[in-house]
């Protein structure tokens, strides 16, 4: 008996060439199938990338603003009544070791801010009138968008500094105009930039502490802003309530504004799971599309399969050929998706002016998932093609 020749082994390069030839013959169909994978990976990388960049920008902002600002406000008594901060609170807090600055604001009851006296007094736009110490801007680390802040001279006259939101709601974009507060006109001497650590100031109109007494202000601070060194912030916080109100420290509320920003960064991580889920759904749809095109390819290329089998190709080589096509198709789609997602991340970071933080886990996971889905989607069509005998395949010629 004449021995059968050993089957020719296909090298990896030859296998890749054969797989790519199959895709080049049906370019539009291949592009549309790879598009599903590309959309899934792009969604995963892009959405997670935006979240990662936002988190990096937020953490950079927290580092710049500092985590050593504490705020003090009155709580409620045991009977449920609103408490007040003692007039000695500022001076007592300033004596705590490690404290570098203390300032305060106080709400002026019943005062409203309007553009003119022709506007209904009920139209307040949520703008509060607050008495302010002259060192408030320094304590908060804020900056002026326009004009100057209150000082010892302007604080004794009808002068006002508007928060960023308050100025926008009043339609004022620069210092120099007038607004109507508590039955009299105040000159706008300054507009603040947004204060991330004191958003309540953004929606306020700040007037001098001494002049506020003419509008019914009782002199009690409603919020204290305290700065300390980074090393002593926790020790200061431990004694702050008792220092502010020694008789009733339980009636004092403390907070660290940077904790809110840190919580926002933590919330971004919770959305990552949702973004991964959205990308996974798109990847699954892309995988189904690839499986569909590979099954159709097997049906359309029965003659090719039969001819190759009759020329000596083994079942394993046929199986490897179609599996290579499927993996290559999904890998190309995955690569395009990663590239599109990275472009979105870079563009978003540049637009916001934030540091570029690439989502490595999303990039690796997206590319790996694309290849894995391509391999899984190609298993059935590859096995189906390999099971065809030369006679069965060539019977359709």
| Tens of pLDDT, residues 81-126 | 788 888 888 889 999 998 888 999 999 998 989 998 888 877 777 8
State the pLDDT confidence band at 269, using cuts at 50, 70 and 90.
low
Tokens representing residue 238 in the block:
């431990």
Contact at 8 Å (CB) between 40 and 282? yes
| pLDDT for 382 beyond 80 | no
The whole-number pLDDT of residue 351 equals 84
Percentage of the chain surpassing pLDDT 90? Answer: 23
Distances (CA, A) of 16 to 19, 97, 302, 308, 315: 5, 72, 20, 16, 17
No. of helices (H) and no. of strands (E), the chain: 13, 11
Q: Range with the lowest mean pLDDT among 47-56, 99-108, 184-193, 224-233?
A: 47-56
CA distance 132 to 224: 10
Structure confidence at residue 102 (pLDDT): 92
pLDDT at residue 154, rounded to an integer: 94
- Distance CA(227)–CA(154), nearest Å, equals 25
Residue 22 pLDDT grade (very low, low, confident, very high; cuts 50, 70, 90): low
pLDDT in tens, 191-221: 999 987 888 899 999 999 999 999 989 889 9
Average pLDDT over residues 234-249: 87
Q: How big is the CA angle at 58 (ends 55 and 64), to the nearest 5 degrees?
A: 140
Asked if the model's pLDDT at residue 5 lies above 60, the reply is: no
pLDDT for 268:
57
Lowest mean pLDDT among 55-64, 90-99, 127-136, 352-361: 55-64
Higher pLDDT, 78 or 132: 132
Q: What is the pLDDT of residue 385?
A: 73
> What average pLDDT does the segment 232-251 reach?
87
Could you give the dihedral angle defined by the CA atoms of residues 228, 251, 136 and 178, in that order, rounded to the nearest 10 degrees? Answer: 160
- Reading the block at residue 289, the tokens are 């599309």
Region 63-71 average pLDDT: 73
Q: pLDDT averaged over the chain?
A: 80
Determine which of 10-19, 171-180, 205-214, 240-249 has the lowest per-residue pLDDT on average. 10-19
Scan for tokens 């990388």, then name that residue. 45
pLDDT score, position 328: 80
**Contacts of 382 by beta carbon, 8 Å cutoff, 6+ apart:** 294, 318, 319, 320, 321, 322, 323, 326
State both tokens at 394: 């060539």
Mean pLDDT, rounded, for 252-262: 73
Which residues is 252 bridged to in the sheet?
74
This prediction's pTM: 0.61
Q: Where is pLDDT greater, at 302 or 330? A: 330
Please tell me the predicted confidence (pLDDT) of residue 49: 77
Separation of alpha carbons 51 and 43, rounded Å? 12
Q: Across residues 314-343, what is the average pLDDT?
A: 81
For the stretch 125-161, pLDDT in tens is 789 999 999 999 998 888 999 999 999 999 999 999 9
Q: State residue 153's pLDDT score.
A: 94
Model confidence at 278, in pLDDT bands (50, 70, 90)?
Answer: low
Residue 8 has pLDDT above 60, yes or no: no
**pLDDT confidence tier of residue 63, bands split at 50, 70 and 90:** low
**Given pLDDT bands bounded at 50, 70 and 90, which one contains residue 178?**
very high
> Could you identify the residue written with the tokens 């394993």?
316
Query: Would you state the pLDDT for residue 180?
Result: 94
Report pLDDT for 149: 96
Compute the average pLDDT of residues 221-230.
88
For residue 384, the model assigns a pLDDT of 75
User: What pLDDT score does 145 carry?
Assistant: 94
């Amino acid at each position: 008996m004449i021995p059968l020749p050993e089957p020719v082994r296909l090298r990896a390069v030859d296998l890749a060439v054969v797989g790519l030839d199959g895709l080049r013959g049906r370019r539009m169909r291949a592009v549309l199938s790879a598009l599903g994978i590309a959309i899934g990976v792009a969604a995963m990388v892009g959405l997670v990338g935006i979240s990662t960049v936002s988190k990096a920008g937020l953490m950079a902002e927290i580092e710049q603003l500092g985590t050593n600002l504490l705020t003090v406000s009155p709580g409620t008594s045991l009977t449920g009544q609103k408490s007040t901060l003692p007039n000695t609170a500022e001076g007592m807090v300033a004596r705590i070791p490690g404290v570098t600055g203390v300032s305060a604001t106080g709400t002026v009851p019943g005062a409203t801010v309007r553009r003119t006296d022709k506007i209904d007094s009920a139209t307040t736009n949520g703008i509060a009138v607050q008495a302010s110490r002259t060192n408030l801007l320094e304590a908060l680390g804020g900056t002026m968008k326009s004009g100057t802040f209150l000082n010892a001279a302007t604080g004794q006259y009808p002068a006002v500094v508007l928060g960023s939101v308050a100025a926008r709601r009043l339609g004022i974009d620069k210092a120099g105009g007038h607004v109507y507060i508590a039955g009299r006109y105040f000159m706008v001497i300054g507009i603040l930039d947004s204060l991330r650590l004191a958003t309540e100031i953004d929606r306020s109109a700040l007037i001098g502490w001494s002049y506020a007494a003419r509008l019914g202000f009782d002199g009690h601070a409603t919020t204290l802003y305290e700065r300390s060194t980074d090393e002593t912030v926790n020790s200061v916080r431990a004694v702050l309530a008792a220092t502010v109100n020694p008789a009733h420290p339980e009636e004092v509320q403390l907070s660290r504004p940077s904790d809110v920003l840190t919580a926002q960064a933590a919330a971004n991580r919770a959305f990552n799971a949702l973004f991964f889920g959205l990308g996974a759904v798109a990847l699954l749809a892309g995988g189904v599309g690839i499986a569909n095109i590979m099954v159709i390819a097997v049906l359309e290329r029965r003659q090719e399969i039969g001819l190759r089998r009759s020329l000596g190709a083994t079942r394993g080589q046929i199986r490897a050929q179609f599996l290579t096509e499927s993996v290559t198709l999904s890998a190309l789609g995955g690569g395009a998706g990663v590239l599109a997602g990275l472009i979105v991340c870079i563009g978003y970071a540049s637009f916001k002016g934030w540091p570029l933080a690439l989502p490595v886990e999303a990039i690796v996971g997206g590319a790996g998932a694309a290849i894995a889905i391509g391999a899984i989607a190609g298993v059935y069509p590859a096995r189906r093609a390999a099971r065809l005998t030369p006679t069965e395949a060539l019977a359709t010629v």
